């Protein structure tokens, strides 16, 4: 799937070499469909003298992220600020140092604030002749129509269970049974499937989330389940950011001369350092918020998959169950409730996701959801 997208894109490049190259591309697909990887493979095909062979220096540098003419950016906090975007646009205007193109890989383009998106639009409307923008987003609708209409859209879909299991088994040497379990549970989300197959903590967290429905026997249990879910998301975010924060902060301190003897230390620089440190801390804080929100959201999606399986059983639909390993729990709830109740529960989870997106206090939103899930 992935290589197909890159190959198709590569053909377009070869065909259009020199003549009217499209300067803005939009790679869309649900989480886990590999849109960033496809965009990166496409970038390699632009840099590689051979249209993306995957082996040469150019390809290699693009794939590991060290190519001087490729800049991959993601939002620093919850979203792209207009400041971050403007700085990027200035850098994007520079000429390529090596090959024909300077490529900007703009991940999560749907997270651009309105003013950042407007700045981006201007850059795409009048692109420097040697700059190519590769935007990534879940769906074309996630971007303003004025941006979308100027992009060539490459749409990816999630691969099936069999294909994902095959990748895990052949590339990561995962035993076939674990590979199918992980692929099925991840519902086509490749990196999620890999994490499930290789990381026991991830499997444990999934089990904890899927055990929630049967634990909701009373109001107290609902409050407790909400507390635990929010706390787990916080711990996950803390673990994911701790190392990163530490090295960023020490880099910045070094940059501003901390640790030197103070001799010849420029006071102005030190004052500037305090400001920069404050800015970095703010950025790190909003990054932690984003990771926490993402982690909570993926737990909620897991719960959705639980109730969707229940619904499938209630309707006797012969579809593949995402959570086949807990078939007993699914079956019990399927018998003890009606399809209408199941649909209402799925709605409650989706509503919780929306409220979290609108910055409602997580504990309050999740608690309300748990109460709605209670039998």
User: Which residues of the shown chain bind Zn ion in the complex (CB under 5 A)?
Assistant: 48, 50, 53, 56, 59
Helix (H) or strand (E) holding 249: helix 219-255
User: With b meaning 16 or more CB within 10 Å and e meaning fewer, what string describes 307-340?
Assistant: bbbbbbbbeeeeeebbbeebeebbeebbeebeee
CB of 51 to Zn ion, least distance (A): 8
DSSP for residue 80: B
Q: Which of 59/73 has CB closer to Zn ion?
A: 59
> Where does residue 289 rank: exposed (0-12), middle (13-18), buried (19+ CB within 10 A)?
middle
CB of 57 to Zn ion, least distance (A): 8
Q: Which of 100/344 has CB closer to Zn ion?
A: 100
CB of 195 to Zn ion, least distance (A): 29
- Please state, as a whole number, how many other Cβ atoms lie within 10 Å of the Cβ of residue 179: 25
Count the alpha carbons within 13 Å of 328 in the hemisphere toward its beta carbon. Answer: 1
Q: Which of 59/147 has CB closer to Zn ion?
A: 59
Count the alpha carbons within 13 Å of 73 in the hemisphere toward its beta carbon. Answer: 26
CB of 97 to Zn ion, least distance (A): 17
| Count of all residues that appear for the chain in the document | 375
CB of 41 to Zn ion, least distance (A): 11
Q: Which of 48/124 has CB closer to Zn ion?
A: 48
Residue nearest to Zn ion (CB): 48
Confirm if 110 and 137 have CB atoms less than 8 A apart.
Answer: yes
Q: Which of 57/162 has CB closer to Zn ion?
A: 57
The sign of the dihedral angle between the CA atoms of 52, 4, 136, 235 is: negative
Helices H, strands E: what count in the chain?
16, 5
Q: Which of 50/162 has CB closer to Zn ion?
A: 50
DSSP for residue 17: T
Q: In angstroms, what CA-CA distances link 221 with 113, 232, 315, 348?
A: 39, 16, 29, 17
Q: Which of 101/307 has CB closer to Zn ion?
A: 101
Q: Which of 62/147 has CB closer to Zn ion?
A: 62
CB of 135 to Zn ion, least distance (A): 23
Q: Which residues, 6 or more positions from 122, have their beta carbon under 8 angstroms from its beta carbon?
A: 89
CB of 50 to Zn ion, least distance (A): 5
CB of 52 to Zn ion, least distance (A): 6
């Amino acid at each position: 799937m992935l290589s197909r997208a890159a190959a198709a894109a590569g053909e377009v490049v070869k065909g259009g070499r020199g003549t009217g190259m499209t300067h803005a591309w939009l790679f869309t697909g649900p989480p886990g469909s590999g849109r960033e990887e496809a965009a990166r493979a496409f970038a390699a095909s632009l840099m590689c003298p051979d249209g993306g062979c995957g082996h040469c220096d150019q390809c290699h540098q693009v794939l590991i992220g060290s190519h001087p003419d490729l800049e991959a950016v993601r939002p620093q906090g919850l979203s792209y600020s207009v400041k971050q975007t403007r700085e990027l646009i200035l850098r994007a205007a520079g000429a390529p140092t090596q090959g024909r193109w300077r490529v900007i890989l703009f991940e999560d383009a749907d997270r651009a604030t309105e003013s950042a998106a407007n700045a981006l639009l201007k850059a795409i409307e009048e692109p420097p002749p040697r700059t190519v923008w590769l935007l990534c987003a879940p769906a074309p609708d996630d971007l303003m129509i004025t941006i979308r209409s100027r992009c060539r859209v490459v749409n990816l879909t999630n691969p099936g269970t069999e294909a994902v299991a095959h990748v895990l088994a052949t590339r990561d040497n995962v035993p076939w049974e674990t590979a199918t379990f992980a692929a099925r549970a991840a519902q086509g989300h490749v990196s999620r499937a890999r994490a499930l197959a290789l990381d026991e903590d991830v499997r444990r967290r999934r089990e904890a989330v899927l055990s929630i429905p049967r634990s909701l026997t009373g109001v107290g249990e609902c409050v407790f389940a909400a507390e635990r879910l929010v706390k787990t998301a916080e711990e996950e975010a803390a673990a994911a950011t701790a190392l990163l924060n530490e090295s960023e902060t020490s880099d910045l301190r070094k940059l501003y001369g901390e640790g030197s003897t103070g001799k010849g230390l420029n006071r102005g620089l030190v004052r500037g350092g305090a400001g920069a440190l404050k800015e970095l801390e703010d950025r790190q804080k909003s990054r932690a918020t984003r990771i926490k929100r993402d982690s909570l959201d993926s737990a909620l999606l897991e719960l959705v998959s639980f109730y969707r399986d229940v619904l499938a059983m209630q309707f006797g639909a012969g579809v593949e169950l995402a959570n086949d390993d807990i078939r007993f729990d699914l079956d019990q709830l399927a018998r003890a409730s009606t399809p209408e109740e199941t649909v209402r529960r799925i709605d409650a989870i989706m509503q919780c996701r929306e409220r979290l997106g609108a910055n409602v206090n997580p504990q309050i939103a999740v608690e309300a959801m748990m109460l709605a899930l209670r039998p």
